[in-house]
Amino acid sequence: MSLNEVRCLPQCGSTNLYAKEHIEEFGPVGAVYTTCQTDGRGRLGRRWVNAAGQALYYTAVLKVPMVQPGTLPLLASLAVRKQLALRYGVECAIKWPNDLLLGGKKVVGILCEAVSYGTNDQGRGYLCGIGINLAQPQSYFDQAELPYGTSLLLQGARVDLETDPSWLAEGLTDFGFDRELYTFGPEGFAPYREEYTAACVNLGRQVSFNQGGHAGTGTATGIDSEGRLIVRTDSGEERVFTGEVSIHGIYGHL
């Protein structure tokens, strides 16, 4: 076990699954990454298409107390956004809760989950899986039937596939998560609310949501201190925290 260990794998089925299977080998904050993930998964069971050597597949392993773990995906979106700005000079927008958009298209996806480990599953940890589209050509998104997907390369960034994956993985682990967890762990999302709100593309737009079978449409007006999307509907104010949210008017519905 080592502090802030970042493991690089030439290939794996899923970095989240690898992290889950090896979680006891990591310290309080660690990570595993690859550029070839053969059996990943998206939200809601969406099909997976590997982009070998052209994307970063990364999972942070977090074994620290958190007062508000449900908002970890929002923190993760800010962490990735900062690292992409530092590396490429790009300003990504955040589609609530945690997709990053560049040029109005999705360039980063995030999937977090809670895990138990140790004797009698007494340990509690969190995995934060992050996929960053680095250099896929347009043909990849066409063949994968992802009309709203894009890569940093397609958006004009200068991508170096030899050095960028390790730089991003190290930066996310040490600065995106380890450093920020000193604040986020005991205080939750509230200290990040203003920064997140400024980057959130949902606000001021018409959105549709489906939360636990309860569907609605309205105008997204804000983010509260618990990370919930505030939506003004004809029947009143809704605070959305789970389920699907689509934005009207950005390449159809995103």
Pairing mode, if any, of strands 206-211 and 244-247? Answer: antiparallel
Contacts (Cβ under 8 Å, ≥6 apart) of 98: 73, 74, 76, 77, 109, 110, 112
Of the options 3.40.1160.10, 3.30.930.10, 3.50.50.60, 3.90.550.10, the CATH number for the domain spanning 6-195: 3.30.930.10
pLDDT, average across residues 174-195: 97
In percent, the amount of the chain with pLDDT more than 90 equals 80
According to CATH, what is the number of the domain 202-247? 2.30.30.100
- pLDDT score at 253: 44
Fold match, 6-195 / 202-247: no
- pLDDT score at 39: 82
Ordered alpha helix ranges (H), the chain = 15-21, 72-88, 138-143, 164-171, 180-187, 193-199
- pLDDT score at 250: 63
Domain positions in the chain are 6-195, 202-247
- pLDDT score at 248: 77
- pLDDT score at 254: 44
Cα distances from 136 to residues 54, 142, 159, in angstroms, run 6, 11, 11
Please give the residue that has the higher pLDDT: either 40 or 217.
Answer: 217
Distance between CA atoms of residues 59 and 6, nearest Å: 10
- Dump pLDDT digits (tens) for 189-224: 999 999 999 999 999 999 999 887 888 999 999 999
Q: What is the DSSP letter of 46?
A: -
- pLDDT score at 47: 58
pLDDT, average across residues 24-44: 86
pTM over cut 0.75: yes
- pLDDT score at 212: 79
pLDDT, average across residues 164-192: 97
pLDDT, average across residues 7-20: 96
